[in-house]
Amino acid sequence: MTASPTVDPTGAALLRPHAEQATEHELAALRAADDRPRPPHWQMSPWAVVTYLLGGTLDDGTVITPKYVGPRRLVEVAVATLATDRALLLLGVPGTAKTWVSEHLAAAVSGDSTLLVQGTSGTAEETIRYGWNYARLLAEGPSDAALVPSPIMTAMREGRIARVEELTRIPSDVQDALITVLSEKTLPVPELSTEVQAAKGFNVIATANDRDRGVNELSSALRRRFNTVVLPLPASFDDEVDIVARRVESLGRSLELPETPAALEEIRRVVTVFRELRSGLTGDGRTKLKPPSGTLSTAEAISVVTAGLTLSAHFGDGVLRPADVAAGIVGAVVKDPVADTVAWTEYLEAVAREREGWGDFYRACREVSG
């Protein structure tokens, strides 16, 4: 899985390159081949942005790898929204690639995915609006030189896409700092008796979920400023297997793991376990299951398989086996040590133990579970 790593200006290999760095050749090829109309300040046309997200082959033979596997219409609606004056809200349960889609949309539209506000319970209003260099503020008073622009203010000035991750994690009163930005397309700076008006091309992509604990509801005033696109979990088993396999291969290259092929059989097994437990029903529809408290998302399945590959490469024989993924699966399923342990034990005894070809997996999971 080794490959030439992306490096920073100092020559250091990057652990996680930004989307525009990791797919620089694809973006360049799309821009060169794109002859369709582009909205102001967009790096490529909406058609090319959708092709970048969903994949395809250009006339010159350049292969554009899929960044998102899902309904094409959802991606088209998301891209079309960014070409209007409405902001985009990507909504879904954890692990439905909201952040991934947000980053790649910003990279394709603006060539820059780094204008990011990471939402947490401690996010302050100046993170969304602007702050001050307090040393200069005390020495000189309010001035342009003392002002520290937020990523959103920078995006407004330059006509780029700003990203707000985990919007519902941000306190409600801080969320509402976005209302003027999204409705009036201005950001007042009363200390300087001025304002920043958004250049054409500016927009905001926010992500949110309503399944985690500790989320803050969006006000109706703020929600009206967004066009909401709900990203679903993968519709089919094969789609989810494909997503996991692609991302595991990509992560393996990025982490420069030793050459260890991801066994499709084990990927399919992990996806089977996750899909059955979160649906509360086995694939054949014969056995009802007790769902655990966690979401068991596709992102967690990717993490389980990647961790298994690392174990196999460094502490095994280089072949991904059930014992390599067992600990990761148990850790993903058993979040509540009481209720989830019961659900997991029932699954092992009623399903895994009886399923043909799952003997090694059953024994490995029982050993980990104690």
In the chain, where are the structural domains located? Answer: 19-230, 237-369
| Predicted pLDDT of residue 8 | 59
| Predicted pLDDT of residue 1 | 45
pLDDT in tens, 219-275: 899 999 999 999 998 889 999 999 998 888 888 877 777 765 568 899 999 999 999
Q: pLDDT class for 12, splitting at 50, 70, 90? A: low
Q: What is the pTM (predicted TM-score) of this model?
A: 0.88
Per-residue pLDDT at 313 exceeds 90: no
What is the distance between the alpha carbons of residues 74 and 88, in angstroms, rounded to a whole number?
A: 12
How many residues are given for the chain?
370
β-partners of residue 132 are 147
Cβ burial of 118 (10 Å; 0-12, 13-18, 19+) is middle
Q: pLDDT class for 3, splitting at 50, 70, 90? A: very low
Sign of the four-CA dihedral 289, 294, 298, 302:
negative
Structural contact between residues 218 and 168, judged by C-beta atoms closer than 8 angstroms: yes
SS3 call for 277: helix
- What distance lies between CA 316 and its chain's CA centroid? 31
- How far from each other are the two terminal CA atoms of the chain, in whole angstroms? 33
The rounded percent of the chain whose pLDDT value lies above 70 is 94
Give the CATH number of domain 19-230: 3.40.50.300
Contacts of 359 (CB under 8 A, 6+ apart): none
Give the range among 42-51, 74-83, 185-194, 249-258 with minimum mean pLDDT: 249-258
